[in-house]
Structure 1
Amino acid sequence: MEINAGDTAWVLVSAALVFLMTPGLAFFYGGMVRVKSVLNMMMMSAITIAVVTIIWVLVGYSLTFAGDTGHVIGNFSEVGLKGLISPDAVSGTIPTLAFVAFQLMFAIITPALISGAIADRATFRGWIAFVVGWTCLVYFPVAHSVWFLDDGAGGWIGDNLKAIDFAGGTAVHVNAGAAALALALVLGRRVGWRKDPMRPHSLPLVILGAGLLWFGWFGFNAGSALSAGTTAAVTFVNTQVATAAAVIGWLIVERIRHGKATTLGMASGAVAGLVAITPSCGAVTPVGAIILGVLAGAICCFAVSLKYKFGYDDSLDVVGVHLVGGLFGSLAIGFLGTAAAPSAVNGLFYGGGVSQLGKQALANVVVAVYSFTVAFILGKVIDKTIGFRVSEDEEVTGVDQVEHAETAYDFLAAGSGLRGHSSVARTPAAETETSEKEGAHA
């Protein structure tokens, strides 16, 4: 098949949009933590860009999309992207390297999502080790199982079971959400959890991050069509509609439960809608997307409080939004799916029976259990060897200072400005010189 310039351009632009989601996630998560943890939180997202990119080129793409081994993993035939820079390397109507780039961005953001569950208390070295291990042991085989299609000779979830995951509800969100729950249990609760206020330090950063995520998600979902055509248009519209509806659903529940509609609730509702529509954006109508979005916003708003009931400290509600939202969006296909949509499957409400619902449920349960188990074991091993949690004293001091020797905001300089002194940051040499002068005057 010949390369189509329009399809290629759309996939490459979509890849760039999905890349933007990881910096957006860094702002979203960074704004939600306390001031003493914001840099560490943003670094946990950003470092996945560097780490996963290298792994993906060396072995990741090959293990995910180069052939099939047992319907659960690829092979090593394209390590180092061997042979893929050739003009003859084509996937459908686009160069294979365009597909490589697009899928890389999914591999980057998936482990980054997990980091929100362990905010304020993880060592940076432990996090890097986890990203390497979990990406290789969990993400690659799950992505292969979901997305490697080869007329029945591909991955067991998408090609054999025929469960639908258009853009990552199972492979990304349920996968990451289950791992997030495991790490929250491994690292334990933060010092002062449920006693001390742990409010977001910057809601403007949260809103900025949510806006970047929403913008990038059009590439995430519509880009997964891998062509510039009707499927991309349908998924684009469904993504917008469901996200808007989820904001409304979340705020309604928040207003009923707490009496106020909050900025944080609006941002969280948008992300919940984006998560839920991801697996189903190619399976429902725009009206179905409205129904799905409203329900997703409401359900996830309730779900984030589960951590208080069950006693696990999921710092930034990764479980309540990504695990629950991804699971709901995937199961919704079994109810709201219609053969008129690109995925071409009828759910229960369109006369399709419960067959598709069963397939969706089985796929997500297996992925959740597998991801949770591997993440739990991996987290324990890392904690017992190189250390995964900072000490209690270090946590109280703040992981920014302890792990990175930095702080996000120079309050000392701002304070000196209020006292009539220069607010320009001093170099160590300047501070030494000033101290000597002040000592001489004394």
Structure 2
Amino acid sequence: MAQAITLAADAPTLSAANTGFMLICSALVMLMTPGLAFFYGGMVRVKSTLNMLMMSFISLGIVTILWVLYGFSVAFGDDKGSLVGWNSDWVGLSDIGLTELWDGYTIPVFVFLVFQLMFAVLTPALISGALADRVKFTAWALFVALWVTVVYFPVAHWVWGSGGWAFELGVIDFAGGTAVHINAGAAALGVILVIGKRIGFKKDPMRPHSLPLVMLGAGLLWFGWFGFNAGSWLGNDDGVGALMFVNTQVATGAAVLGWLAYEKIRHGAFTTLGAASGAVSGLVAITPAGGAVSPLGAIAVGLIAGVLCAMAVGLKYKLGYDDSLDVVGVHLVGGIIGSLLIGFFATGKGQSDVAGLFYGGGLDQFWKQCAGVFGVLAYSLVASAVLALLIHKTIGMRVSEDEEVAGIDQAEHAETAYDFSGAGGGAARTPASSPAAPAESKKVDA
């Protein structure tokens, strides 16, 4: 009887504070997808801006519905062979009590599932940056639906689901270095190897059309990332989430400095694009590691990621793969760096007592991190390439050559990002007295 009383006393109870905190974090993570849309949208040429925005936004629709229907069950349901989960009670989210708690925590299941939903939405959107200018919108939408089903939902179970092989092995991934960033980066590489390069790659200038939009997007990503990272501890009771919050800021600042220093030495200038990309590389790298390292370790993680990711983005020109907006160079490489550095910089005083090599823990954790990193990388790369190939051979992944040259926005969305006809001044303005004015107006309306 005494034992039963003790167990009852120790049972978690719903915490209004943690529940509110996690709902705020969920909203912050949701904001990251529009932030990513602006980040990517500013990096492409004018004629692809809307398509880039839409490739992120459509994920909010598709993945949300699939998560409700079966995604949450596959990712976090009862383990099946260490590869997938399943819980029929969660299909359609129709049999979950309002105050039913996520196992071992003080937040409702609904709060946990909506927080994880925002991760699932963001991850395929990350892939889109590698495919700018050349992919049919219908093909992309189909790819998103198939990819989250075949790749993201199972990988999320491997990494975070009870019984998943990486989870049981002891791979540390605080908030998504493997499940989100390596997963998306490897997928991006798999798809671009199938669909090929943009017309004019390495020949025509393909500079960002709006660096202010890029900086705005980077700022929104940085802001939302605090929810992404600190929220992944699922509570606010023991200080680990606060450590992750601090390390997120510290590593990102260090990565900005590292990227800009490399850029100045290599290219002679500090660019806004470099600052924005450096920030994202630091955010990516600290995502898996921030709960395990100290703030000094976070500086090291950020600096290393900033420099190595800056170096990695140039590989596409040497190796010939057209990673349009550096998804491979930033997310794949940054995710690998952050995940593997846990094996060296984990202090044993953060999220767990696991220590890395520099803190007396040997290389045991490093080898576990290698297993998680390269297991996810290989599966996502191959599975994503196969999915892209199936779509490419059936409905076709790419728009026509004429549509790509003229602009994918007009071809796929019948819109343009900017209407200069009424902006005032310049050759784009047609005088009202001109006989061409009515015809031009009619053309625009059509």
Could you say which TM-score interval applies, normalised by the shorter chain? over 0.9
- The secondary structure found in structure 2 opposite 1:316 is coil
Are 1:231 and 1:282, in contact at CA under 8 Å, matched by a contact in 2?
A: yes
Correspondence for 1:69: 80
Q: What per-residue deviation string (whole Å, max 9, x for no partner) do you get for residues 44-88 of structure 1?
A: 000000000000001000111111101111114210113214433
Structure 2 CA distance, aligned partners of 1:17 and 1:185? 33
Question: In the alignment, residue 228 of structure 1 is paired with which amino acid?
Answer: N
Question: In the alignment, residue 99 of structure 2 is paired with which amino acid?
Answer: P
Question: In the alignment, residue 387 of structure 2 is paired with which amino acid?
Answer: L
Structure 2 CA distance, aligned partners of 1:308 and 1:413? 39
Structure 2 CA distance, aligned partners of 1:44 and 1:5? 36
Residue 432 of structure 1 and its aligned partner are, at CA, apart by 4.8
Residue 427 of structure 1 and its aligned partner are, at CA, apart by 12
Structure 1 CA distance, aligned partners of 2:87 and 2:136? 32
**Does residue 173 of structure 2 align to residue 165 of structure 1?**
yes
Question: In the alignment, residue 121 of structure 2 is paired with which amino acid?
Answer: I
- Counterpart selection for 2:96 from 84, 97, 100: 84
- The secondary structure found in structure 2 opposite 1:41 is helix
Distance 1:107 1:185, change over 3 A: same
Correspondence for 2:132: 119
Q: What per-residue deviation string (whole Å, max 9, x for no partner) do you get for residues 162-205 of structure 1?
A: 01000000000000000000111111010110010000000000
Correspondence for 1:438: none
**Across the two proteins, how many residue pairs are aligned to each other?**
427
Distance 1:76 1:186, change over 3 A: same
Are 2:430 and 2:437, in contact at CA under 8 Å, matched by a contact in 1?
A: no
- The secondary structure found in structure 1 opposite 2:374 is helix
Q: What per-residue deviation string (whole Å, max 9, x for no partner) do you get for residues 5-50 of structure 1?
A: 1110111100000000000000000000000000000000000000
Give the fraction of aligned pairs with identical amino acids, expressed as a percent.
61
Are 1:83 and 1:89, in contact at CA under 8 Å, matched by a contact in 2?
A: no
Q: 1:27-426 residue pairs with structure 2 within 5 A?
A: 27-77=38-88, 78-91=90-103, 92-149=105-162, 154-158=163-167, 160-229=168-237, 230-414=239-423, 421=431
Distance 1:148 1:259, change over 3 A: same
Residue 414 of structure 1 and its aligned partner are, at CA, apart by 3.0
Q: What per-residue deviation string (whole Å, max 9, x for no partner) do you get for residues 248-307 of structure 1?
A: 000000000001010000000000000000000101000000011011100000000111
Residue 421 of structure 1 and its aligned partner are, at CA, apart by 4.1
- The secondary structure found in structure 2 opposite 1:94 is coil
Distance 1:427 1:377, change over 3 A: farther
TM value normalised by structure 2: 0.93
Structure 1 CA distance, aligned partners of 2:29 and 2:258? 25
Q: What per-residue deviation string (whole Å, max 9, x for no partner) do you get for residues 304-352 of structure 1?
A: 0111111100000000000000000000000001111223311011111
Are 1:59 and 1:76, in contact at CA under 8 Å, matched by a contact in 2?
A: no
Question: In the alignment, residue 389 of structure 1 is paired with which amino acid?
Answer: R
Are 2:98 and 2:110, in contact at CA under 8 Å, matched by a contact in 1?
A: no
Distance 1:407 1:5, change over 3 A: same
Are 1:272 and 1:296, in contact at CA under 8 Å, matched by a contact in 2?
A: yes
Are 1:242 and 1:289, in contact at CA under 8 Å, matched by a contact in 2?
A: yes
- The secondary structure found in structure 1 opposite 2:66 is helix
Distance 1:225 1:428, change over 3 A: farther
Are 2:102 and 2:112, in contact at CA under 8 Å, matched by a contact in 1?
A: no
Mean Cα displacement is larger for which, 413-422 or 46-55? 413-422
Structure 2 CA distance, aligned partners of 1:333 and 1:427? 64
Mean Cα displacement is larger for which, 386-395 or 317-326? 386-395
Structure 1: give runs of 5+ residues left out of the alignment. Answer: 436-442
Correspondence for 1:440: none
Q: What per-residue deviation string (whole Å, max 9, x for no partner) do you get for residues 394-421 of structure 1?
A: 1001100000010001123336776574
Are 2:14 and 2:99, in contact at CA under 8 Å, matched by a contact in 1?
A: no
Correspondence for 1:439: none
Question: In the alignment, residue 315 of structure 1 is paired with which amino acid?
Answer: S
Distance 1:94 1:434, change over 3 A: closer
Are 1:8 and 1:98, in contact at CA under 8 Å, matched by a contact in 2?
A: yes
Q: What per-residue deviation string (whole Å, max 9, x for no partner) do you get for residues 366-386 of structure 1?
A: 110100111101001101111
Distance 1:390 1:231, change over 3 A: same
Distance 1:412 1:287, change over 3 A: same
Q: What per-residue deviation string (whole Å, max 9, x for no partner) do you get for residues 210-259 of structure 1?
A: 00000000000000010013011000000000000000000000000001
Question: In the alignment, residue 112 of structure 1 is paired with which amino acid?
Answer: A
